[in-house]
Every structure is written in structure tokens, then in C-alpha cells.
Amino acid sequence: MIMKNTIVLAVTALFSLTLAIGCRSLTSLIGIEKPQLRFGVLSDIHVQGFPNGDKNFREALQWYDKQKVDAVAITGDLTDYCMLVEFDRLIGTWNDVFKDNKRSDGEPVVPFMVTGNHDEEGVHYLFQHLYAIQSKRTLAAVNGKRFKYPQAVEIISNSFAKARDVVQYNLHPEQGKDILQDMDNYMDRVYQAGTNLALIHSFAHESQDIYTNTMKRLLANAMTWEGISNWWQNAFNEPYQTHRRIKIKGYDFVGIHWQVIGWRGEVENIKPFFETLDLPNDKPVFYFQHYHPSNTCHLGQIKSPKGSFDNGSSVAVLKNHPNLIAFSGHSHASIADERAIWQDTFTSVGCGTIRPGKEIIQGLLVSVYSDRIEIERIDFISKEPIAPKWTIPIKDNRVMKPFNHQLREENSSAPYFDKDAELEYAIEKYRLNLQIPAPQNGKNGGRFNHFEIAYETQTTNGAAATVVTKAYPKNIGRARKYWEDPTTVSLPINRFPLNTPFKITVTPISDWGKKGKQIRTEEIKY
């Protein structure tokens, strides 16, 4: 009887709760609320022709399949070297996971991709790996350093091995056999030359021919601006358009290919397109371009030799759309960094990278509800969240902006060391080895970013400590549990005072530049 009464009371309470907080909130409370739209976002996937050059991409797609996403968007650098074999592997991997653009449960999933610089200029980056194939240059370096014959052969052999990989894995089968054979024949003759460097020099013109033929062959197998149109039509069954707009479950997806924005970003190419869109202001709009809009997410601090990735032209257009959320990459900057999301006149979000060979493999999972947008930062190594999700409220059909950089910096606290944290050090020959314990993250987004290492003497007394360097724990771009181990830093001893007692200080600094309380060594003298 007591149990029955308990059940009745519980049901009554649940019903009352439903009336009090509403059905949607209740479904959210008990974990059955479904998003109106869910999609993944990746950037800088850099699919390669090398073995397992699509491994990270494949695993990310498989994870998104399990999350039952409605779409997967990619913000450029789909391939590494702009080679046809890479584009074919890209779409082949997509079709393996999402055959006929359907998830494993049979529901549709939409690919939404834009190109980056590697997709339209990548073959030029490939050439830099082939320069060493020119034995004239290699042997000049060898002779200039007066290497002995075995060292010379080793250098040439390593150069040719790298070049062989470039040819073997970036040309379609059968297309690079003759070049590979020429390389092998050349190396056989180098080995047979014994210690006669002069004879090796006589082969140099053959190396030049190999180099020239290789570049020509690679260019012939690289994606061109014209060729991508045909490939795109075949891959996605839609025309290649430099400006893209589609609707997915009632939400606008807008994308700009690299061909439009280039290294500088051309507002005259973006603005007229946006003027034709008539975008809604009563629901979120999702926008995709390769590099970060200037001075938004990641503070726009990443620069190329040609200047800022974005000269501000895209911002000039996007700022007119407060409900727009822009996704971008190019920097490969970790999305564990709290500066990876920026809000002001619009919202800008960095997407990390899943490039092969990287220690940080990250992407986003975006869930759209009637009253909010949830953005989860995913570590594809562990298949788990990197940090707490970003929740963007939607109120009165407006996208609210709790992730304003200035407000977050003001409200955050600095990272800090535990009370019993100590620095350990040892001097070995000409180096000072320092072991630094992992700090705790500050509150309200005060994530630890790096250490500042300095020294102070009796004269400075900490007031004007001399900064020596910055240091970053291994795996700092992942969740904290992956950088809990102490960080070891080895520094030349001559960076510290000679015959003057000093103390080493280490200060934890947040993503926002806030400095926590430092810890010190005992007095050191050498």
C-alpha cells in the first residue's frame, strides 16, 4: 500500500511539474528532446593519396553516423595537394560511410563542402617536397659540407624515397611507373658509382629530367578550377557554384569556395551574392568559408606570409546578419581554446582540423533546438567531448550572444596551481631541466593556455622578472585529463644569470591572457 501511494505521488508530482515548466522543458529534463537539426562540422581534413590518408576522415564520418546527423559540413582543405586521386578518395570515403547520402539507419544525410587553398593551389605545395630530387642541389649541399660518400648517398637516397612516395601515392595507378623506374635506375647507378662523386655528378642531368617530368605529370593529375566543375557534378550530382546556398530541414546553409575569397577575401565578390539571398532574421543561418573572418574566432591572430587570412571583407558583409553563425578553419587552431568561438555583430566559430599526422584531431557537433543551439567540441582520438558544450540561446527569434570575447574575459578567472604544487629542476651539463606541475583551469572559461617561465634575482625581487620563454604541455589542445602529467622543459643554462643567485618562476596563463599566481624554485646558483 505504501509503494502504491508512493507511485501515485510521484506521477502526480511529474504531472504538476509538466504543467509548471512546460512539455519541452520536461522532455529536455528526462533526456528525450530531439533537435530540429543536427549536423557535424569539420575543417582541414587534408585527405591524402598516401596509405590511410583518409583514416581520420572516415572515423569522423562513422562517429557522425552514430550521432544521426542530418548533414556534415566541411570548411575547406578537403585534400592535401589538390590531386585527382585525393578528390576521388574523398568522395569514395564519403560513399563508403554514407552510401547514396544515407546514414546506416536509412535516413538522409547531406554533404555540404567548400574548398580551401589546398584544394585549388595544393599542387604547388607538393613541389616543395620534390626539390631535393635535383641531385645538383643535393650534391652541392653535400660537397659544400664536405660529406663523405656514404653520407652523400644517404642524403640522395632519402630525397628520392620522399619523391617516390609523392609519385606513388599522388598519381593514379599505372601513371607513375616510368618515373618510379627512372628513379630506381638512377639510384642503382649512384650506388654503383662507388666513392666517385664526380661520376655521380655526371648523372645530375638525369635527375633534372626526372624532376621536370615528375612536375609535369603531377600538374596533369592535379585538380584545376575547370576540372573541379566536372568532378563536383559527378560527386554530388549538383553544379559547382562558387557561392552556395541550400536549405536543410528548413535552415539556410551558405558557403563560399576558396576561388571567391582567395588569400585576401574580396568583398565585391561576396556582397552581391548576399544581397540576393534575402536571408531570414527569425532563425539561425549557417555560413561556411575556409579561413577565419578577420579578428573574430581565435582573435584572427594567425597570419600567412601574404598577410591576414581575411582582410575584413567577409566581416563587412556578415555583420549585417546577427542571426548568422560562421564556421571556418585554415588555422588548425585547437577548439579547446575558448577563443575558438566569438560573438559580436554575428557569431564566428573555429573548427579545428583532422589532418593526418596531427596530434589534435577535432570537430564539432551542432544541435539546433527551438530555443537554443548546442555546439559540442569533439576529440576524435578519444571520441569524447573536449570541454563543456557551447550553448547559444535563441530568444524572440534572435540568436543571443553570451560568448562575447570582452565579457568572457572580464568574467573569467585565471588558472591556478594546487597549494602543494612545486617546481622541480636539475642542471645537467649546459641545460636546466624544469618539471612543471599541471595547473587547474580557472572558472567561467578561464582555461589554462600556457606557462610563462621567467627568473628573478634579489635585485628584481619578483617585480621585474625577466621572461625566458613560453611553454605548452603536451596535448594542451585536448581535454584536461590528457595534460595532467607534469610538463618537462629543457632550457640552455646560459639563458640564466651566471654567478648570480636567481629563482625560476612559472606563471599559468589563460586563453584570455589572465595570469594566475606563480610558483618558484628555491634559490639557484651556477
Specify the pairing of strand 243-248 against strand 251-256.
Answer: antiparallel
**Are 133 and 160 in contact, with CB atoms under 8 Å apart?**
yes
Would you place residue 189 in the very low, low, confident or very high pLDDT band (cuts 50, 70, 90)? Answer: confident
341-373 per-position pLDDT tens digit = 999 999 999 999 999 988 889 999 999 999 999
Find the mean pLDDT for residues 65-83.
Answer: 96
More confident residue, 418 or 307: 418
User: Is domain 424-520 classified as CATH 2.60.40.10?
Assistant: yes
Look at residue 266 in the predicted model and tell me its pLDDT.
59
More confident residue, 163 or 260: 163
**Are 169 and 216 in contact, with CB atoms under 8 Å apart?**
no
Give percent helix, percent strand, percent coil of the chain, each to the nearest 5. Answer: 35, 25, 40
263-312 per-position pLDDT tens digit = 655 556 788 889 899 999 999 999 999 989 888 998 755 444 344 466 77
Residue 366, Cβ neighbours under 10 Å: how many? 25
Instruction: Compute and round to an integer the Cα radius of gyration of the chain.
Output: 28
37-123+225-411 folds as Purple Acid Phosphatase; chain A, domain 2 (3.60.21)
Would you place residue 328 in the very low, low, confident or very high pLDDT band (cuts 50, 70, 90)? Answer: very high
CA–chain centroid gap for 96, Å, is 24
Q: Provide the b/e sequence for 293-327 (b: ≥16 CB within 10 Å).
A: bbbbbbbbeeeeeeebbbbbbbbebbeebbbbbbb
Q: Given a cut of 50, is residue 443 above it in pLDDT?
A: yes
Would you place residue 337 in the very low, low, confident or very high pLDDT band (cuts 50, 70, 90)? Answer: very high
Can you state the angle between helices 84-97 and 225-236, rounded to 10 degrees?
Answer: 20
**Are 64 and 72 in contact, with CB atoms under 8 Å apart?**
yes
pLDDT over 90, % of the chain:
56
Q: Given a cut of 90, is residue 93 above it in pLDDT?
A: yes
pLDDT, mean over the chain: 86
Q: What's the pTM value of the predicted model, to 2 decimals? A: 0.87
**H or E, element range at 143:** helix 135-144
Would you place residue 516 in the very low, low, confident or very high pLDDT band (cuts 50, 70, 90)? Answer: very high
In whole angstroms, give the CA distance from residue 17 to residue 6.
16
Strand partners, 42: 74
Residue 481, Cβ neighbours under 10 Å: how many? 10
Specify the pairing of strand 431-436 against strand 424-428.
Answer: antiparallel
Which range has highest mean pLDDT (156-165, 224-233, 474-483)?
474-483
Burial class (CB in 10 A: 0-12, 13-18, 19+), 392: buried
pLDDT over 70, % of the chain:
86
26-58 per-position pLDDT tens digit = 444 555 789 999 999 999 999 998 888 999 999
